[in-house]
Amino acid sequence: MAQVALISDLHFDVNQVDPAAVLPQQAAYLKAQNVALYLIAGDLTNHFNQSLAIVQQLQTLLAPAQVRFIAGNHDMLHDVSYAALEAPLSPLYLHHQFYDLPGTNWRIIGNNGWYDYQYADNLPGRNFLAWKRAFWIDSTITQSMSDDERMDRVLIQIQAQLAQARRANKRVLLMTHFVPRREFIRYTADDRFWNMANALMGSPRLGQLAAAYQVPYVLFGHLHRHFWPQHLGAVTYLNQALGYHNRRLNEWDSPDFMTEWRHRLKIMTLS
């Protein structure tokens, strides 16, 4: 039995939060809750090396408890290549890796994830790639394949990991960044920006894969709206995104970062 804490989309830099000031507070809170594992489902900052440094600091502060993270699209914007993202850059970076939680039968499988435009199938005939290059932050992310092909690779990686976990008789918590189910996507009655942006939210194929393997829990981020846990078939989906707090966009329910972090943090027992 172990306590696991879940969060995503901290956006330290966009939120103008100094990690040096809040990381000791977060570590103290997690220790007080007897957390054995802290999972961060991407979008810590807009620079991968900065995100990794934050997680390394947290690991030092939290030890012997463990910290694991994956990269969201914001973490991918600067100072990291696609090839590097696919490599085991650090024991704390869980993309295409897994962590077996000591004292339990649970395996944490991590994969950054990606998207394939299928959530925007209500807009036929659109050139989503051209729109992405013109308007979306991911335009700075380079890759040697199409978005569909990248999502295909994600699914191949996760299916192999799930099959391996099944052979080992492990229960699985899958951590990814992008949206795995259509139920979380918001559609509007016109062709506004967000209907086009739905193309870049994730893929329903990931949810289909999780259902096929009856994954007990899927943690994801990317969407900054607040959701209760969603029980869809055999799978419980958890989005614990903290989101933005600035003049242009205020998605918090609380006046300060630490209060919002505690409200968005989910702590659960895995036994």
| DSSP class per residue in 126-157 | --HHHHHHHH-GGGG---SS-HHHHHHHHHHH
For residue 191, pLDDT over 70 is answered with no
Hey, which residues does 174 pair with through a beta bridge? Answer: 109, 218
Q: Which letter, b or e, does each residue of 152-173 get, where b requires 16 or more Cβ atoms within 10 Å of its Cβ?
A: bebbebbeebbeebeeeebbbb
| Six-digit token string for 78 | 């600067």
Per-residue pLDDT, averaged over 258-269, amounts to 98
Domain ranges of the chain: 2-270
For residue 170, pLDDT over 70 is answered with yes
Q: Which letter, b or e, does each residue of 198-211 get, where b requires 16 or more Cβ atoms within 10 Å of its Cβ?
A: bbbbbbbbbbebbb
159: left (phi over 0), alpha (psi -120 to 50) or beta: alpha
For residue 45, pLDDT over 90 is answered with yes
Helices (H) and strands (E) counted in the chain, each on its own, are 8, 10
The CATH architecture annotation of domain 2-270 reads 4-Layer Sandwich (3.60)
The pLDDT assigned to 190 comes to 75
Q: Say what the pTM is.
A: 0.97
pLDDT confidence bin for 144, thresholds 50/70/90: very high
Provide the terminal-to-terminal Cα distance of the chain, rounded to the nearest Å: 4
The pLDDT assigned to 29 comes to 98
